[in-house]
Amino acid sequence: MTFLTIEGASKRYGAVAALDDVSLAVPAGSRTAIVGASGSGKTTLLRLIAGFEAPDAGRLTLDGAVLADGPAIVPAHRRGIGFVTQDGALFPHLTIAQNIGFGLERGLADRAVRIEALMRTVDLDPAMLERRPHQLSGGQQQRVALARALARQPRLMLLDEPFSALDTGLREATRKAVAAMLEAAGVTTILVTHDQTEALSFAHQVAVLSEGRLAQAGAPHELYRRPHDRRTALFLGEAVLMKGQAGVGWVDCALGRLPAGTHGHRGEVEIMLRPEQIRFTPVEEGAEQGCLARVVEVEFGGALRAVTVALISNGMKLRITGTGLELPPTGARVRLNVAGPAHVFDA
Query: Which CB sits closer to ligand ATP, 30 or 40?
Result: 40
> Footprint of ligand ATP on residues 192-231 (CB under 6 A)?
194
Q: For the beta carbon of residue 14, count every other beta carbon within 10 angstroms.
A: 6
DSSP character at residue 342: B
- Minimum distance from residue 131 beta carbon to ligand ATP (Å): 30
Helix-strand-coil split of the chain, %, nearest 5: 25, 40, 35
**Of these, 1, 15, 38, 168, which contacts ligand ATP (CB under 6 A)?**
38
Q: d(Cα 7, Cα 61) in Å, to the nearest integer?
A: 9
In the set 30, 32, 43, 188, which binds ligand ATP (CB under 6 A)?
43
Using the contact rule CB under 6 A, the part of the chain among 42-50, 262-270, 309-317, 323-331 near ligand ATP is 42-50
Q: How far is the CB of 170 from ligand ATP (least distance, A)?
A: 21
* Of the candidate residues 2, 16, 282, 346, the single one contacting ligand ATP (CB under 6 A): 16
Q: How does DSSP classify residue 21?
A: E
Residue closer to ligand ATP by CB (options 165, 177) is 165
328 vs 282: CA distance, rounded Å: 8
Chain residues 177-196 in contact with ligand ATP, contact rule CB under 6 A = 194
* 42 is a contact residue toward ligand ATP (CB under 6 A): yes
Which candidate, 35, 66, 60, places its Cα nearest to that of 48? 60
Name which position in 4, 6, 9, 18 contacts ligand ATP (CB under 6 A).
18
Non-local CB neighbours of 168 within 8 Å, separated by 6+ positions: none
Instruction: Give the nearest distance from C-beta 38 to ligand ATP in angstroms.
Output: 3
CA distance 19 to 6: 12
- What is the maximum alpha-carbon separation in the chain? 84
For ligand ATP, the binding residues (CB under 6 A) are 13, 16, 18, 36, 38-44, 194
